[in-house]
Chain A
Amino acid sequence: MSYDDIFERMRRRALRIVRDVMSEFDEMEAWLRSMMDELEETIRPEDLLDERLNELRRGALKPLASIYDAGSELVITIDLPGSDARTIDIKVFPNSVRVEASVRSELVRRAFGETYWARNISKYEGEYALPATVDPSTARVSVRSGMVVIRVKKAAR
């Protein structure tokens, strides 16, 4: 083996080490950048704060809802835990559903304890856009343990 070969092998090895180190730095930089991007852009804490403050100012929580397209009909589940069944008011429109209900104060106390921001909570209020136009006259509503399930047929085209 000539000196040239040995030198060439050393040169290649040195290049490989430099390349590995550079790629480690690149990976670390990309990782740090993605972390910063996530904190600044994805979480959008300002939206979270505004949304929660709006609800609490009015004392009205927007209920969690889940809408499932079951082919010929939509199944809309709206969670109203602790609601007073006599006060549940549901309105089904062709393109949306609106719900209102009072929440029992003892359940608010049990759920949130002495938390200062929860003292005003007294009702649920929510309106949900539907993914398909429905025929409101076909709506069937059932309520069980504070959960409302609405089945409504899609409007004929």
Chain B
Amino acid sequence: MVPRLPLAAYEEEILGYNFIEYGELGRPRLLVLGLPDAGLVGPIASGHLVRSLGMQDVVGVESYGYLPPAALILGGSVKYPLRIYVKGELAVLVTEIMPVPTGIVPLSIAIVEFARKRGVQYLVGLSGVGNPMRAESQPQLYWIATTPEAEKLASALEGVAKRFPDGLIVGPYATILKESVKRGVNTVLLLSDSFVDIPDPEAAAVVVDGLSRIAGLKVDTTQLLQEAETLRLRLQGMAREAKDALAKMGKGYEYRAPLIYS
């Protein structure tokens, strides 16, 4: 039998992005986001979650303006380059391809709005914070929360993570944080020190460990560390694309101090 893309049971358009639901998303408690940013920490961590928890893809995200006309072939099946996987209370957004720079902000807003409409209790972003001296230090975990409820969730990280210090954040997660505050969405962003433009599986393992704590999951990161070199080679192309797109959206602003400190 020829594998086919399942028919969409439900489709919703938000700011130029179509969320095509071809499986049962339900109402997950946590939607974890693996958007490309420094060190590709989000895509590496989200890919590891999907593989190690045996999650099922149920939603494809498509845009004929902001994404190249690309389809992913996985195990003989046609897939959308941006997909949401689900297992029980946990959903994970996986990103294979970078939107054009002007598509990053609408995607970030669309994700927050989708989560709000679908009654997702917490959004959890996984990302890296580019540290130029990363080669000589172990990655530290940081967190940022948008609401008191999100802070309560992040309190499980006490002793292993620090609240993110005063500074600027530029990229998809900056928009996600602002839109979450505006829309009252409980969002926790987990950031690990990472290489700026080299894929960083070690930093991804640190955010996965952080997520395991706040979500009450058991995700083994041994394989992620064992396969670090393979992942770095596989993601070399994606890292170049992400660096290009993030530089165009002003990533350089991250490396300067804010005007006012708290």
Contact = CB atoms under 8 A, between A and B. Distances in A.
Given A52-B237, A146-B229, A66 B197 contact: yes
Contacts of B224: none
B195 to A, nearest CB: 6
A120 interface: no
B240 interface: yes
B233 A39 contact: no
A75 B240 contact: no
A73 B163 CA distance: 31
A75 B131 CA distance: 12
B65 to A, nearest CB: 4
Contact of B230 (A52, A61, A70, A110): A110
A76 B231 CA distance: 21
A34 B133 contact: no
Interface in B49-70: 65-66, 68
Contact of A79 (B66, B100, B232): B232
B100 A42 contact: yes
A82 B230 contact: yes
Chain A: interface size category: 20 to 34
Contacts of B132: 66, 68, 75
B33 to A, nearest CB: 22
Chain A facing B: main interface SS: mixed
Interface in B181-207: 195-199
A40 B100 CA distance: 10
A48 B243 CA distance: 13
B144 to A, nearest CB: 25
Contact of A38 (B101, B228, B233, B241): B101
A34 B102 contact: yes
B102 A147 contact: no
A147 to B, nearest CB: 7
A61 B236 contact: yes
A111 interface: yes
A64 interface: yes
B233 A107 contact: yes
A107 B198 CA distance: 18
A61 B232 CA distance: 13
Interface string B116-136: 000000000000000011111
A38 B183 CA distance: 28
15 contacts: A38-B103, A39-B100, A42-B248, A43-B100, A64-B236, A66-B195, A75-B135, A77-B195, A79-B195, A79-B232, A81-B236, A82-B230, A111-B230, A111-B233, A145-B229
Given A34-B102, A75-B133, 14 more contacts: A38-B103, A43-B68, A64-B198, A66-B132, A68-B133, A75-B135, A75-B136, A77-B195, A82-B230, A107-B230, A110-B230, A111-B234, A112-B233, A145-B229
Interface of B: 16, 65-66, 68, 100-103, 132-136, 195-199, 227-234, 236-237, 239-241, 248
